[in-house]
Structure 1
Amino acid sequence: MHSLLIIHNSMAEIDIEERSASSPDSVLRSCGYLVKIATTSKEALSMIRDADASILQCPITEINTWGILLMQQKIAPIIWWCTHETANLSVAACDDNIMVDGVLSPSMLAQEIHWTLHFSAKQCFERQQWLKEREQLLSRIEERKWIDMAKGILSKVKNISESEAYDLLRKQAMNERKRMVDVATSIVKVYQLLQDQT
């Protein structure tokens, strides 16, 4: 990880003297990272393509808003720059599913920053894998619901067992060269349409 995008929130402004000593850009540059700075969403979206990670210098309540915006453009670690200015809210402000892969602070040593960025990249990858798996599982559950409804309709209409209805559904899908869920969805929708008309 070499190039970092730092996003300064206007609400997290600090005075010039303090900013020069403890700002994320000066700390990270001193550790050897290439740093770009954005203060608006438009700037951030144009710069994120070239960045390996985003460092958010904003209140914790704004992390998810920035995270969603940035992840739509590029999947890269999101790290929170934690200082007394950005962490001035109570712990209750931090919800359970905050979109952050790591936390940095101005008091960290260069070695700690390097390891935090390394583990943040790993965390980001694992979070993306988990989200993909979750999406696939939800999709399978939804497909299963359609197939179960179609089995119920076929067993009721044709007066057959659910296993026979499943075999019938599978054969129909093979004959039409469609996925079972597509055939099941068609059966359920046609059945519901007919029920509405009667």
Structure 2
Amino acid sequence: MRSILVIRVQPIAADSPGAIPLTPEKVLGANGYHVQVTDREAEVAKLAREAEAFILHLSLADVTYWVNCLGKGKSDAPLLWWCAPDTASSSLEVCEVETSFDGILTPSMTGPEIHWTLHFAARRYMERKQWEQERKQLQSRLEDRKWIDMAKAILCDLKQISESEAYDLLRKKAMDERKRMVDVATAIVKAHQLLQS
């Protein structure tokens, strides 16, 4: 992971007069990373395609908006938050963001700490994506099961047959019509609901 996109929308304030604040691009650039910085939505969509990680140098109140901007561009890469005095001064209510960060970087991190944080963020990101995919598959199966169970109940009631016989009837109908069983079940339930109304 070498190419990183930093999203920053607020001006950088130094802690004390004359002090130069440590920004993600300074810290990461000093450790061999290619860093691009933007604060414009149109530029985020363009630059995000090439980035291998995203760092949000924002207050937590702004995080959701910019994560949605990244999502519009279908950008897939680890997401990290730059936790520094200028971004961490939010109230506790703002800290309850819905965004899942894959890691947090701070200005005081050393080179090896940054490398390991980015490495573990990439692993965390891959795990998170796998969990999301498994979750979607499970939700889809549960939804399919719901339609099949409703269709079985309708068939049991109308034909005065057992659940296993209703299941066999659904399966046979799906095979005869070369359709998925859930599609046949959905059609039965919707037709039954239409006739009942």
**Shift in Å at residue 89 of structure 1?**
1.5
User: Match of 2:142?
Assistant: 141
**Shift in Å at residue 25 of structure 1?**
0.8
Alpha-carbon spacing, 1:191–1:22, altered in 2? closer, same or farther (3 Å): same
Of 91-100 and 130-139, deviating more is: 91-100
User: Does residue 1:61 correspond to 2:57, yes or no?
Assistant: no
Percent pairwise identity: 49
Determine helix, strand or coil for the equivalent of 2:54. strand
**Shift in Å at residue 21 of structure 1?**
4.1
TM-score by length of 1: 0.92
How many residue pairs match? The answer is 194
Query: Pairwise CA RMSD of aligned residues?
Result: 1.7
The CA distance in 1 between the partners of 2:18 and 2:7, in whole Å, is: 19
Q: 1:97-108 alignment to 2 at 5 Å?
A: 97-108=98-109
Determine helix, strand or coil for the equivalent of 2:49. helix
Contact 1:83 1:105 in 2 (8 A): yes
User: Match of 1:29?
Assistant: 29
Alpha-carbon spacing, 1:158–1:110, altered in 2? closer, same or farther (3 Å): same
The CA distance in 2 between the partners of 1:44 and 1:142, in whole Å, is: 36
**Shift in Å at residue 96 of structure 1?**
6.7
Of 135-144 and 67-76, deviating more is: 67-76
Letter in 2 for 1:69: C
Runs of 5+ in structure 2 lacking a partner? Answer: none
User: Match of 1:87?
Assistant: 88
Contact 2:44 2:69 in 1 (8 A): no
Contact 2:12 2:21 in 1 (8 A): no
The CA distance in 1 between the partners of 2:126 and 2:175, in whole Å, is: 37
User: Match of 2:162?
Assistant: 161
The CA distance in 2 between the partners of 1:64 and 1:76, in whole Å, is: 16
**Shift in Å at residue 66 of structure 1?**
2.1
Runs of 5+ in structure 1 lacking a partner? Answer: none
User: Match of 2:76?
Assistant: 75
Of 82-91 and 177-186, deviating more is: 82-91
